Amino acid sequence: MRILAIETSCDETAIAVVEGKGGIKKPSFEILSSLIFSQIPFHKEYGGVVPNIAKREHIKSLPLLLEKTAKKIDLASIDQIAVTVGPGLEPALWSGIEFARELSKKMKKPLFGANHLKGHLYSFLLDNPEKKKIFPAIGLIVSGGHTILLYMKSLTEYKKIGETRDDAAGESFDKAARLLVFPYPGGPEIEKAAKKGNPEAIAFPRPMINQKNYDFSFAGLKTALLYNIAGQKADWDKFNKGKAIKPENADDLAASFQSAVIDCLTGKTMRAAKDFSARSVILSGGVAANKALRGTFRKKTSAAKINFFAPQQKYNTDNAAMIATASYIEIMSGKKRRISANGNLGIH
Ligand code: KG4
Ligand code: ZN
């Protein structure tokens, strides 16, 4: 099944064409095209994503991306169209949905409503791993809006065992970056600075790490960073006036903050892997692009003699190839979803 997928849930406009084969038992994927237009330059000056700018830019970029795709692939060979319906920013989601609806009508091809979180979750399949080594698995999705831990018996049978009680991991990176006066998006900037800093310089808390559950909390960690910066400068006045203060030890703060987030994420995930006798850990979402996080997972899973799966670097952050992959799995398992934007769509 050749799927053309459209992704517009946040600040990346993406169109991909992926060939899925093998059905639910032995799925395999070939990426025929994967194009992404990043909107970062348009949101940078606001320090975060502005929903109406995102919508405007998606509307502008989608026809251009389709035109580029059509230069590589005969669109008549497409069997199915898929579009992200949630979760995400609703104005942004609608721009993709409306474009997909028109395309589906024009091309006379069926349209599937895809779940963005499932796109992340299944993105490791783009590398066609050997399926017998995967399940049971613990899946960790770490993105800008979500931090979710899943116990997976198979690709389609899973249950949520934990999630964040406040900020998502990516959101905490973005907020920390703002405090350290790094540009948006914060995750990659923290990672860059952390390489130059000492992760043991500041002993930040590891919230909830010893609690016997699989939940996370990152809001307190961000507050600890704020207190540390303010304490150093003893300049609450400036903070209260909303003035940004770039601390001199920003690299150490970034490294120590990143290390705390990594300890929380890997600590809880590895505990779940042990408790559920998992054969593997599957990591996904924008934060999974963080090399220090991947490196720690690689070390810990190897010490625990279990497998580790994460998509190639470029498929961690938002893209449409993962949306095609998730759509294939869901279509093959008989799933149906309304073609209507749902900003808060969960992992089901
Ligand atoms: O999955 P994604 O592209 O979009 C959502 O679905 O939210 O994730 C974006 C998030 C942002 O919070 C961004 O700061 C974070 O992923 N991120 C990173 C890195 N690259 C992106 N966080 C830490 N280290 C990175 N290298
Ligand atoms: Zn995402």
Question: Residues 242-271: pLDDT tens digits?
Answer: 666 678 899 999 999 999 999 999 999 999
Q: Is the pLDDT of residue 231 over 80?
A: no
Q: Does the beta carbon of 315 sit less than 6 angstroms from any atom of ligand 1? A: no
What is the predicted pLDDT for the residue at 164? 98
Lowest mean pLDDT among 86-100, 116-130, 238-252, 296-310: 238-252
Q: Does the beta carbon of 172 sit less than 6 angstroms from any atom of ligand 1? A: no
Q: Check: pTM over 0.85? Answer yes or no.
A: yes
Round to whole Å and give the CA distance between 215 and 162.
5
Q: Does the beta carbon of 174 sit less than 6 angstroms from any atom of ligand 1? A: yes
Q: Does the beta carbon of 164 sit less than 6 angstroms from any atom of ligand 1? A: no
Atom of ligand 1 nearest to the CA of 185: 14
Listed in order, strand segments (DSSP E) in the chain are 2-7, 12-21, 28-38, 80-86, 111-115, 137-142, 147-152, 158-163, 280-284, 307-309
318 Cα–ligand 2 center, Å: 5
Atom of ligand 1 nearest to the CA of 12: 3
Higher-scoring residue by pLDDT: 185, 275: 275
285 Cα–ligand 2 center, Å: 6
Average pLDDT (86-103) is: 98
What is the predicted pLDDT for the residue at 248? 86
Atom of ligand 1 nearest to the CA of 116: 6
Q: Does the beta carbon of 318 sit less than 6 angstroms from any atom of ligand 1? A: yes
In degrees and rounded to multiples of 5, residue 56 shows phi and psi of -55, -45
Q: Does the beta carbon of 145 sit less than 6 angstroms from any atom of ligand 1? A: yes
What is the predicted pLDDT for the residue at 247? 85
Range among 128-137, 150-159, 242-251 rated most confident? 150-159
248 Cα–ligand 2 center, Å: 32
Give the number of whichever ligand sits closest to the CA of residue 185.
1
- Per-residue pLDDT tens digits for 200-220: 999 999 999 999 999 999 999
Round to whole Å and give the CA distance between 222 and 44.
21
Task: Tell me the longest C-alpha to C-alpha distance in the chain.
Answer: 65
Q: Is the pLDDT of residue 177 over 80?
A: yes
Q: Does the beta carbon of 265 sit less than 6 angstroms from any atom of ligand 1? A: no
Q: Does the beta carbon of 347 sit less than 6 angstroms from any atom of ligand 1? A: no
Listed in order, strand segments (DSSP E) in 105-157 are 111-115, 137-142, 147-152
Q: Is the pLDDT of residue 234 over 60?
A: no
- Per-residue pLDDT tens digits for 25-82: 999 999 999 999 999 999 988 888 999 999 999 999 999 999 999 999 999 999 999 9
Q: Is the pLDDT of residue 240 over 60?
A: no
Q: What is the secondary structure of 284-298 as a DSSP string?
A: ESGGGG-HHHHHHHH
143 Cα–ligand 2 center, Å: 6
Query: What percent of the chain is predicted at pLDDT more than 90?
Result: 89
Q: Does the beta carbon of 311 sit less than 6 angstroms from any atom of ligand 1? A: no
187 Cα–ligand 1 center, Å: 6
Q: Which residues contact 163 (CB under 8 A, 6 or more apart)?
A: 146, 147, 148, 149, 215, 216
List the domains of the chain with CATH numbers. Answer: 2-123+315-332 (3.30.420.40), 135-278 (3.30.420.40)
Q: Is the pLDDT of residue 238 over 80?
A: no
Closest residue to atom 23 of ligand 1, CA basis: 187
Q: Does the beta carbon of 87 sit less than 6 angstroms from any atom of ligand 1? A: no
Give the number of whichever ligand sits closest to the CA of residue 285.
1
- Per-residue pLDDT tens digits for 326-347: 999 999 999 999 999 999 999 9
Round to whole Å and give the CA distance between 266 and 293.
8
Place of tokens 């923290």: 190
Give bridge partners of residue 131 from the DSSP assignment. Answer: none
To the nearest whole number, what is the mean pLDDT of the chain?
A: 95
Q: Does the beta carbon of 90 sit less than 6 angstroms from any atom of ligand 1? A: no
